[in-house]
Chains A and B, each alone.
Chain A
Amino acid sequence: MTLYWEEEMETLPRVGLESIQLKRLQHLVARVYKTVAPYREKMDAAGVKPEDIQSLADLAKLPFTVKEDLRDNYPFGLFTVPMDQVVRVHASSGTTGKPTVVGYTKKDLETWSGLMARALTLAGVTAKDMVHNAYGYGLFTGGLGAHYGIERLGATVIPVSGGNTKRQITIMKDFKSSVLLATPSYALNLAETMETLDVDPRSLSLRVGVFGAEPWSENMRDEVERKLNIKAVDIYGLSEVMGPGVSMQCLEGEKGMHVFEDHFLPEIIDPDTGEVLPPGEKGELVFTTLTKEAFPIIRYRTKDISRLMYDTCACGRTLVRMEKVTGRTDDMLIIRGVNVFPSQIEHVLMGTEGVEPHYQIVVNREGNMDTMAVEVEVSEDIFSDEIKALENLTKRIQMDIKDMLGVTCRVKLVEPRTIQRSEGKAQRVIDNRKL
């Protein structure tokens, strides 16, 4: 039997859903136009007024919001309420420039907790569960966002945050953690540490893992499921839109994540032209928030590549599903003119018998030539005492990558645990080119 958190909203016929969405959108656009100068200026420049939004299709008339807009208005310039109504802020790490800052009112936090509780219910989590929350706490939305959702659901939260991996395993054993929330790469880090500590994951109480915050492949999902002996599901979110809980994979249906459309309006656009693509096509995900107070956002370009699936789901939810995000428009590497997504390389590696998911792509420019090296950690499964066998392995990976991408790369085998482990998002690419 499917469990719902808010059954009526989750199973609303599309017509009903769309009328709620339109009403909320009109209200949002009017409010933002009135209260936030940068939004008003952009809309005026595009020649669109709040009254022009008469149907959901009119959304396409509104200008996009991009990360630059958040940086230009750093820190609070896009907030729509006075700061005395803002009860919490979060921020990105700012690794690629100034951090982007987002804020929440009391009501926003209630909405978020409710959506996170809804998301966890999709993964079969109930009030009886012990939820091991290994997302980082702090300015990053993952830890606290999930935390309050778990509490709202009535489950027990273990606010373990990231790091101190051995201790996490002890806690899992002693507290009988039944649900794990983490980045997929940290989940593998945990699995690996269990192996060195001789802890059999089957002796633990873990049942399901809710993984997000970075792109990962289906093969990596299989790996996590096998190594931790759990069911692994996707959760999606980003701080600019809310944090975790924008969309979530259910247990009953095909893969893909239900977008909580009563709060977030998704679009897929062509990343080059900005044009809205028809249902089912792959492109860049764009979100408009419908209910947020402190920091609503209109047509935010996520840079995540996905696809929207409108067919009905076995779980009974009518909410559209988005495909697992496996690539980003901005982590795309261009190697000698060829577009390369790290997820494509990951796909090749995972398809090679025994190859560990720990890899790193190193890009250099030698003379005028780009070179790409894929460093792969050697596991016992692929190790051989014969040079010949290892050289054949690197040649095979090299050929498979060449087949898939049309790019020749160097494959270098490295010792286990030499590629830096992340306690949050994995860093897959080191680009040393000075372009």
Chain B
Amino acid sequence: MRVEQIAVFLENKSGRLAEITARLAEENINIRALSVADTADFGILRLIVDNVEKAKKTLKSNGFTVGITNVIAVEVADKTGGLAGVLKTIEAEKLNVEYMYAFVNKTGENAVLIFRFDDMDKAIESLQRTGYTILSGEQICAL
């Protein structure tokens, strides 16, 4: 039920993001979703890609610090209140969101919400219990 996400350490200076995307493109790695979190000194780039191992190897060999973490991908209908519904469930369970980002899939019918929780197991269990669909890594790549 968990999806592997790649996180990359980025110094806040021009060209770093371009460098990463260029290296991934050279290796034919497709980025399905991404987000950048930043502070004054550094940023963290988080990526969902179609080939985690290859992406990790490519970035590492180009000198980047890379970590792999598990996140969960929740599918909701792309309509008003989609995210609000999920967050309501989460709040009711007193779960804490470490971070999240979202994207809309190609058909435009559904949105995918990527979450990292402090208690991932409990989050999966309660979201499934409430009737949400949690996608696997393969499913995201197939979207």
- For B66, the chain A residues whose CB sits under 8 A away are 380, 383
Given the interface pairs A385-B44, A387-B44, A412-B41, the reply to whether A380 lies near B98 with Cβ below 8 Å is no
How far, in whole Å, are A383 and B69 apart by their CA atoms in the complex?
11
Given contacts A385-B7, A385-B44, contact A415 B69 (CB under 8 A): no
In the complex formed, the residue of B with least CB distance to A380 is B65
C-alpha spacing A378/B116, complex, angstroms: 22
**B: contact size bracket:** 20 to 34
Task: Kindly state the separation between the CA atoms of A166 and B60 in the bound complex, as whole angstroms.
Answer: 17
| 0/1 string, A371-391, CB within 8 A of B gives 1 | 000000011100111111011
A155, B61: Cα distance in complex, Å: 37
Q: Which residue of B lies closest to A411 (CB)?
A: B41
- Chain A residue, CB-CB nearest to B98: A386
Identify B42's interface contact among A386, A388, A390, A417, CB under 8 A.
A390
Question: Contacting A196 at CB < 8 Å: which of B5, B61, B67, B69?
Answer: B61
In the complex, are the beta carbons of B39 and A415 less than 8 A apart?
A: no
| B44–A418 touching, CB < 8 Å | no
In this complex, what residue of B is CB-closest to A196?
Answer: B61
B64:A415 contact, CB within 8 angstroms: yes
Are the C-beta atoms of B65 and A385 separated by less than 8 Å? no
Pair A416/B67 contact, Cβ less than 8 Å = no
- Is B142 close to A, CB under 8 A? no
Main secondary structure, interface of B, reads: strand
Contacts of A418 in B (CB 8 A): 11
Interface residue? B92 (CB, 8 A) = no
Contact code string A69-111 (vs B, CB < 8 Å = 1, else 0)? 0000000000000000000000000000000000000000000
Given A413-B42, A414-B11, A418-B11, verify A387-B37 contact (CB < 8 Å). Answer: yes
For the complex, what is the distance from the CA of A378 to the CA of B46, rounded to whole Å? 16
Given contacts A413-B42, A415-B11, is CB(A378)–CB(B5) below 8 Å? no
Q: For the complex, what is the distance from the CA of A391 to the CA of B37, rounded to whole Å?
A: 13
Q: Please tell me which one of the listed residues B7, B63, B116 contacts residue A417 in the complex, with CB atoms under 8 A apart.
A: B63
- In the bound complex, how far is the Cα of B63 from the Cα of A378, in angstroms? 11
In the bound complex, how far is the Cα of B10 from the Cα of A413, in angstroms? 9
Chain B 30-57, CB-CB to A under 8 Å as 1, else 0, gives: 0000000101011010100000000000
Query: How far is it, in angstroms, between the C-alpha of A209 and the C-alpha of B46 when the chains are bound?
Result: 40
Pick the contact of A380: B11, B39, B67, B99 (CB < 8 A). Answer: B67
Closest CB in chain B relative to A277 CB, distance in Å: 44
- Closest chain A residue, CB of each to CB of B67: A383
Quick check: A386 and B65 within 8 Å, CB to CB? no
Task: Check A385 against B64 for contact (C-beta < 8 Å).
Answer: no
**Alpha-carbon gap, A199 to B7, bound state (A):** 25
Closest to A414 in B: B11
Question: Please, could you name 26 A-B residue pairs with CB atoms under 8 Å apart, sorted by A?
Answer: A196-B61, A378-B9, A379-B65, A380-B65, A383-B7, A383-B9, A383-B65, A384-B67, A385-B7, A385-B46, A386-B98, A386-B99, A387-B37, A387-B44, A388-B98, A390-B42, A391-B39, A413-B11, A413-B41, A414-B11, A415-B10, A415-B11, A415-B63, A416-B63, A416-B64, A417-B63
Residues of A near any B CB (own CB < 8 A): 196, 378-380, 383-388, 390-391, 412-418
Question: Assuming A383-B9, A387-B44, A418-B11, what are 18 further A-B pairs, CB within 8 angstroms?
Answer: A196-B60, A378-B65, A380-B65, A380-B66, A383-B66, A383-B67, A384-B67, A385-B46, A386-B116, A387-B37, A388-B98, A390-B44, A413-B41, A414-B11, A415-B9, A415-B11, A415-B16, A416-B63
